[in-house]
Structure 1
Amino acid sequence: MSSTPSTEQVHKALTTVQDPEIHRPITDLGMVKSVDVADDGAVHVGIYLTVAGCPMKGRIENDVSEAVRTVEGVRHVTVELDVMSDEQRKELQTKLRGGQAEKEIPFAKPNSLTKVYAVASGKGGVGKSSVTVNLAAAMAAEGHKVGVVDADIYGHSVPRMLGASDFPTKVEDMILPPTAHNIKVISVGMFTQGNQPVVWRGPMLHRALQQFLSDVFWGDLDVLLMDLPPGTGDIAISVAQMLPNAELLVVTTPQQAAAEVAERAGAITAQTHQRIAGVIENMSYFLPPGGGEKLHLFGEGGGQNVADALSKTLGTQIPLLGQVPLDPLVREGSDSGEPLVLGEPDNEVSKIITEMAGNLVGKPRGLAGMQLGISPASR
């Protein structure tokens, strides 16, 4: 006959349950309201939800029930859901911010270890967003903690490409981003009705980006990718101001007209004092079904020309990180919400992007924006 489980055993089992949005144990977040164990092995667990309309309450209830059932002697589990008070939510918010009540951009702190890459292009239509999404998916598939900011306010498309259909959850003035394919993602499209256009001017764009970086709880990320709008407008300038340590990934096609515009997008770093991680040439060539020679539908050499021109302008070596083929499967994966690197990992496009992702994750962080602790010596 099995013995009656103890309250301590149940609490230990609950440490294995993570909040699906915050990705930390519910025991650390103050979400366990009560644990009552009866002599017959029936266990009643009270759980605090962060908000009444928590979209993950069904999953939390199920995860709690399954965890408690693993304790020897438990015969029945009842989970009762409650909602945190305003004071409890404020305490949770402060805890998540590392004890800081005030908002801050964690990636701009001198001790931040998160690598921030801003994916830029001179013009639209070069596949910047699909490159961003597939890089993020490749990094996450290797076990890295990845976040994506859809900073293309007017042309937001990342949620669809990642299959992120859930909405953010608001805890006081903190936003918990939804997760898709183990990637945290935030986009203005999650805050608009249907497919309504965003009609904002510069100051509102700046504020929206600031909220995405400071109000959203990203947790401890290894990499943050930012899908920027084309060109060198307000968002590009705001990123340089808020995240001086962010490095640019310049996306172009082989076409000379696109390459010339991409060069201007990268040359902005001469004024913002950011670094360029490299150039990515998208739609480099097409491989006919069944084999055959590569077809260079958009010409050749645009990516290398951009890298060479930026190297000369900036006085430092800018590498061509990769040449990504044109493949209809990229479009199909974007429309279905499953990035190609996940759906078809053996595809040539997937292999090239996965290699680039590995190189970027393993790349040492630059010194731009970091305090070196240097002070004048006294004489």
Structure 2
Amino acid sequence: MLLQKIAPPCQTPHLRRIWTDLCQEQMRKVTGNIPKKLPIPGVDKVILVASGKGGVGKSTTAVNLAIALRGEGHSNRVGLLDADVYGPSIPTMMNLDDSPELNDQNVMLPLLNYGIKCMSMGFLVKKDNPIVWRGLMVMSAIQQLTRQVRWGPLDYLVVDMPPGTGDAQLSLSQTIVVDGAIIVSTPQDIALIDARKGTEMFRKVNIPVLGIVQNMSSFTCSNCGHREDIFKREGARNLSSELSIPILVDIPIHRSIMECADQGHPIVVSKPESESAKLYYQLADSVQKLLPLKATQQPG
């Protein structure tokens, strides 16, 4: 079980016993009603886009990856799930604000934009209403967003995870079949510490880590062309070497990436010929090579 695999925070025998008791009690609460791990009907590959820390560009990466995958020949067969229950970003980034409809089986139908099937808790609550839930409610919501949505047929379902290593990650890893995770991090040490934790968490629950996206790694002046490494140049590359996982793509910081996301027109859609968009297509190409579809589902 996950918590039992985590090393106790202190080697003192008394504290080790307290830690063990806490882990066992927490696992009894968390796993008591968790269903068996099953694939999502009609979905070939599930990819988690995660980060140990907020503010590193995870949601922007997930959105542009999904659209780039669609552009690689998977027309109308890519989905995007916003699993960040507390802070959903997909409604804004995908320019969607409607409520999902129900089919005859009372299953939600994803909203559609840019050829991507989308679902988010942000579609179910008013924009300014906070979600004030305890962990088990979050886990229940995740189950609804995965099991009570008509996702298929899909080649790829990209899941925008909340930051950290909490209830949403545990729920997804224990209840659905996940094919791989992508870790997004900036090169600064404080982000890399949390990226390392996220990587180790996925390994503990037997989810393959496909690689790292090093985001906001540098800035190039539009006037003089000078490149400045804002954080540090080799941060994520050192982590890649340490953990033996590849750097999938290195994305410099660029104002247009932010502006396009805020306006609900992701850069892969609004500026497909830009250097930034080409990097997201490079990421999509790497994902397809790492997670090839079944022979019967290869795009034509």
Same fold (TM over 0.5): yes
Q: 1:365 to 1:106 in 2, by over 3 A?
A: farther
What is the number of residues matched between the two proteins? 256
Does the residue aligned with 1:277 lie in a helix, a strand or coil? strand
TM (normalized to structure 2)? Answer: 0.81
1:243 to 176, 190, 202: 176
Q: Which amino acid aligns with 2:138?
A: L
1:275 corresponds to which of 208, 224, 229? 208
Equivalents in 2 of 1:185, 1:106: separation in Å? 21
Choose the corresponding residue for 1:328, options 251, 255, 263.
255
Partner of 2:59: 129
Q: 1:364 to 1:130 in 2, by over 3 A?
A: closer
Greater RCO, CA 8 A, separation 6+: 2
Partner residue, 1:315: none
Q: Superposition pairs for residues 69-148 of structure 1, below 5 Å?
A: 107-108=39-40, 114-144=44-74, 145-148=77-80
Matched residue, 1:89: none
* Secondary structure in 2 matching 1:333: helix
Give, in whole Å, the separation in 1 of the partners of 2:73 and 2:203.
Answer: 34
Residue of structure 2 equivalent to 1:72: none
Q: Tell me how large the CA RMSD over aligned residues is.
A: 2.0
Q: Kindly indicate whether the alpha-carbon contact (under 8 Å) linking 1:150 and 1:186 is maintained by their aligned counterparts in 2.
A: yes
- Aligned position for 2:87: 155
Larger radius of gyration: 1
1:274 is paired with a residue whose SS is coil
Question: After the TM superposition, which residues 289-328 of structure 1 pair with which residues of structure 2 at under 5 Å, given as runs?
Answer: 289-311=222-244, 318-328=245-255
1:170-228 per-position Cα deviation (integer Å, ceiling 9, x unaligned):
12420001101000000001111231110111111111111111110012101111111
1:114 partner SS: strand
Going by fraction, where is helix more abundant, 1 or 2? 2
CA separation of 1:117 and 1:291: change in aligned 2, threshold 3 A = farther
C-alpha displacement of 1:304: 1.2
* Deviation by residue 1:336-364 (Cα, 9 ceiling, x = unmatched): 11110111112211111111112212323
4+ long deviations beyond 4 Å: 103-106
The CA deviation at 1:300 is 1.6
Unaligned stretches of 5+ residues in structure 2:
1-34, 294-300
State how far apart, in whole Å, the 2-side matches of 1:326 and 1:164 are: 25
Contact 1:253–1:259 (Cα < 8 Å) also in 2? yes
